[in-house]
Amino acid sequence: MTALLEVSGVSKTFDGFKAIDNLSFSIGEPELRAVIGPNGAGKTTFMDLVTGKTRPDSGRILWGERNLDLTRLSESRIARAGIGRKFQKPTVFEAQSVWENLRLALAGTRGPLTVLARRRAREDAIHTLAERVGLEDHLAHRAGTLSHGQKQWLEIGMLLAADPRLLLVDEPAAGMTSAERERTTTMLIEAARSHAVVVVEHDMDFVRRLDCRVTVLHEGRVLAEGSIDHVTSDPQVIDVYLGRDGDA
Amino acid sequence: MTGTPLIRRPDVITVLAMLTLMTIGATFLAEAGLISTSFVKTLGKTLCLCLAAVAMDLVWGYTGILSLGHMAFFGIGGYAIGMWLMRARTEDIVAAQLAQRPLPPTPGEVDQAAAVQIFGVVGSDEFPWMWLFADILWVQLAAIVLVPGLLALVFGWLAFRSRVTGVYLSILTQAGTLALSLWLFQNDSGLRGNNGLSGLQNIPGLTHIPQSTLSLWFLWASAAALAVTYLLAAWTVSGRFGSVVRGIRDDEARVRFLGYDVEGFKLVVFTVTAMITGVAGALYYPQAGIVNPAEIAPIASIYLAVWVAIGGRGRLWGAILGAAAVSLLSSWFTGGGAPDIDLGFYTIRWTDWWLVLLGLGFVAITLFAPDGLAGLIERALGRLRPNRQGDFGPDQGALRREETRSEPAQ
């Protein structure tokens, strides 16, 4: 399995604070990977770096077979290259319907003039997606009227719609009920059969249920990597993360 | 779920029907002598302002770019057609005068005499470079859309590429407008300084047609332009393109992460709306008769935003309503139509107090009807969409489902 995404020696400093410190990370395709770490470990900054929202001070982020350097591409270009992102707080277009949200995300042309000219919506694809994320009865509703959990699913649906090769998912289970969590777990595991999926999560139980390789971040560096049992028995991890965080 | 076909949408039907009724009605009333030529011109000019307001709604109400410079494009459109109107007509007049002389004048002599006629007022006796093709109608017609389009393209490319947004972009557009108007005020700008271009109501080659007829022609042309633009704009914002630009308005970073080139979309909307505004100006100024740099002053563009805000952002028909209502009321109040109010100790003259009234109206709309007049009408028709922006938190959405059942998708 060759690496789809390879982050090597990346550092990023915000006003003297080292958010990411000489981080190296790689993920293959398909693969499900969980990234955990205490607050301020650099999880979200890591996603920002990969998606082009933030530029690293040093290091390289290489993508795909042709080793594209993502640090030189714009956000929209990176998204078109095949990296999709789901934000921590659900960010869907609340003033637009579920149907419109999915249509926006659906893979296809992205240029202003082709978007204007090609107007036929792919009804079937949109319905299939809505079914996959359990929103088939809500297609006509405005996204703003959905519950928190449904918004999270809509966003996952939008992620799947774009059919990226790598899905970056930031705290998908935050604020969900246990039934919603279970369904989310299933969605992610299913997606990871054909895609590379990186899940950033706080919740240890949720990560345990994903049953995948885990990377522990701390102060912008990789502290440990391996199965969930391996990392939770690592004394360093217990010290900085589990020991301090009573609920896990 | 692709929505109602354009031609069956209630707003499209209403706008087209109102335009048709107004045009036919005005034509009959004018032929019967019941309304004056100047009132027909006021109606025609109002339609042009509505056209500019539709463009403003596209760029601000839909895409979220608060451009406070679009009336500059309106003025440029006026100048572009005004150059041809003024030059061609002056040459006709001069040629007629010179024809009295024993020797028929050469084209060069006519040119020279026309230049003296036009530019004598700013102390020049030759056509500046800008007027090189001003006697060729199609060049000036092309300039109506090309000059605003090109300016908007360059300005937009620089601004959007640097990710200038929000109030900073608004300030930049104001600065650009101010710079253009200050430059036009100079006598050596090549456009007659603060005198502007005048006599534009006289169409060369059509001098035998009375103004009462010409004014109707312009009314029809303005109505047709508005109808066509409305259809095009409604078509544009109803599909995926509209979805993308509304997404840009609400959360442009998110649109970027979906792979859309936000800057490209903004640039297309900014440029196309500048061209529409240019056309609106080119139809407006022959009805107004004169265009001068004061028309491009920053305040004009702010008015345009005020009309759209009063009418209701994000609804194309709201923009038309706002522009029509405010500009017609404005000409009623400032044109002496409104009777003065004698309070005994003070007389309220509306020519002085209209702006205060407009300001108060704007504040009232902003406070009590943020969706503008269009929002009030929708509320009266029971069609106002519930405001559901924001996160309800877990497990609350199910309770709200009832409220959304009948909501149509756009």
Angle at B16 between CA B12 and CA B21, to 5 degrees: 150
The pLDDT value recorded for residue B381 is 84
The per-residue DSSP string of A171-215 comes to -TTTT--HHHHHHHHHHHHHHTTTSEEEEE-S-HHHHHHH-SEEE
3-state secondary structure (DSSP) of residue A223: strand
Dihedral angle at the C-alpha atoms of B209, B210, B215, B218, nearest 10 degrees? Answer: 10
Q: Which of A159, A5, A120, A1 has its CA nearest to residue A68?
A: A5
Residues 6+ apart with CB under 8 A from B329: none
The pLDDT value recorded for residue B347 is 84
Q: Residues A124-167: pLDDT tens digits?
A: 889 999 998 889 999 999 999 998 888 988 998 998 888 899 99
Mean pLDDT of chain B, nearest integer: 89
Is residue A171 very low, low, confident or very high in pLDDT (cuts 50, 70, 90)?
Answer: confident
- Tell if the CB–CB gap between A96 and B2 is shorter than 8 Å: no
Indicate the pTM of the whole model: 0.89
A89 interface with B at CB cutoff 8 Å: yes
Nearest CA in chain B to A124: B1
* Number of Cα atoms under 13 Å in the Cβ half of residue A60: 6
Chain B partners within 8 Å of A118 (Cβ): 240
The rounded distance, in Å, linking the Cα atoms of B406 and B395 is: 21
The pLDDT value recorded for residue A1 is 52
Residue B343: exposure state from Cβ atoms within 10 A (0-12, 13-18, ≥19): exposed
Q: What is the mean pLDDT of residues B281-289?
A: 96
DSSP 8-state secondary structure symbol assigned to residue B182: H
8 Å CB contact between A144 and B396: no
Please name the residues between 170 and 209 in chain A that touch chain B, using a CB distance below 8 Å: 175-177, 180
Top residue of A48, A51, A122, A147 to mutate, by most chain B CBs within 10 Å, is: A147
The rounded distance, in Å, linking the Cα atoms of B135 and B15 is: 37
Is residue A248 very low, low, confident or very high in pLDDT (cuts 50, 70, 90)?
Answer: very low
- Reported ipTM: the value is 0.86
Residue B2: how many other CB atoms lie within 10 Å: 13
The pLDDT value recorded for residue A87 is 84
Residues 6+ apart with CB under 8 A from A141: A97, A98, B401, B404, B407
3-state secondary structure (DSSP) of residue B289: coil
Q: Which of A151, A202, A75 has its CA nearest to residue B262?
A: A75
Residue A111's identity, in one-letter code, is G
Nearest CA in chain A to B395: A147
8 Å CB contact between A126 and A102: yes
3-state secondary structure (DSSP) of residue A9: strand
The pLDDT value recorded for residue A67 is 87
Please name the residues between 369 and 398 in chain B that touch chain A, using a CB distance below 8 Å: 385-386, 388-398
Give the residue carrying structure tokens 């004048």.
Answer: B105
Residue B92: exposure state from Cβ atoms within 10 A (0-12, 13-18, ≥19): middle
Is residue B43 very low, low, confident or very high in pLDDT (cuts 50, 70, 90)?
Answer: very high
A55 interface with B at CB cutoff 8 Å: no
The rounded distance, in Å, linking the Cα atoms of A47 and B45 is: 53
Q: Residues A4-55: pLDDT tens digits?
A: 999 999 999 988 888 899 999 989 888 999 998 888 888 889 999 999 999 9
Residue A46 C-alpha from the chain's centroid: 11
Q: Residues B218-274: pLDDT tens digits?
A: 999 999 999 999 999 999 998 889 999 999 999 999 999 999 999 999 999 999 999
The rounded distance, in Å, linking the Cα atoms of B371 and B133 is: 46
* pLDDT beyond 70 at A122: yes
- Tell if the CB–CB gap between A93 and B251 is shorter than 8 Å: yes
Indicate the helix (H) or strand (E) that contains B142. helix B137-161
- Which residue from A103, A113, A147 is facing B395, i.e. has the nearest CB? A147
Q: Which of A168, A219, A227 has its CA nearest to residue A38?
A: A219
Q: Residues B348-398: pLDDT tens digits?
A: 888 888 889 999 999 998 898 888 999 888 888 876 555 555 544 444 443
Percentage helix, strand, coil, to 5, in chain B? 70, 0, 25
The pLDDT value recorded for residue A242 is 59
Structure tokens at A167: 């899905």
Q: Residues B299-333: pLDDT tens digits?
A: 999 999 999 999 999 999 999 999 999 999 988 88
Percentage helix, strand, coil, to 5, in chain A? 40, 25, 35
Q: Which has the higher per-residue pLDDT, A113 or B289? A: B289
- Which residue from A116, A141, A146 is facing B236, i.e. has the nearest CB? A116
Nearest CA in chain B to A106: B258
Q: Residues B67-126: pLDDT tens digits?
A: 999 999 999 999 999 999 999 999 999 998 888 888 888 888 888 999 999 998 888 888
Q: Residues A176-186: pLDDT tens digits?
A: 888 888 888 98
The rounded distance, in Å, linking the Cα atoms of A132 and A129 is: 5
Q: What is the mean pLDDT of residues B210-220?
A: 94
Q: Residues A54-79: pLDDT tens digits?
A: 999 999 999 988 888 998 899 999 99
Q: What is the mean pLDDT of residues B20-40?
A: 94
The pLDDT value recorded for residue B398 is 39
The rounded distance, in Å, linking the Cα atoms of B145 and B133 is: 16
Q: Residues B237-249: pLDDT tens digits?
A: 988 899 999 999 9
Q: What is the mean pLDDT of residues B31-50?
A: 94
Chain A partners within 8 Å of B385 (Cβ): 142
3-state secondary structure (DSSP) of residue B270: helix
The pLDDT value recorded for residue B3 is 61
- Tell if the CB–CB gap between B239 and A119 is shorter than 8 Å: yes
- Which residue from A140, A145, A177 is facing B395, i.e. has the nearest CB? A177
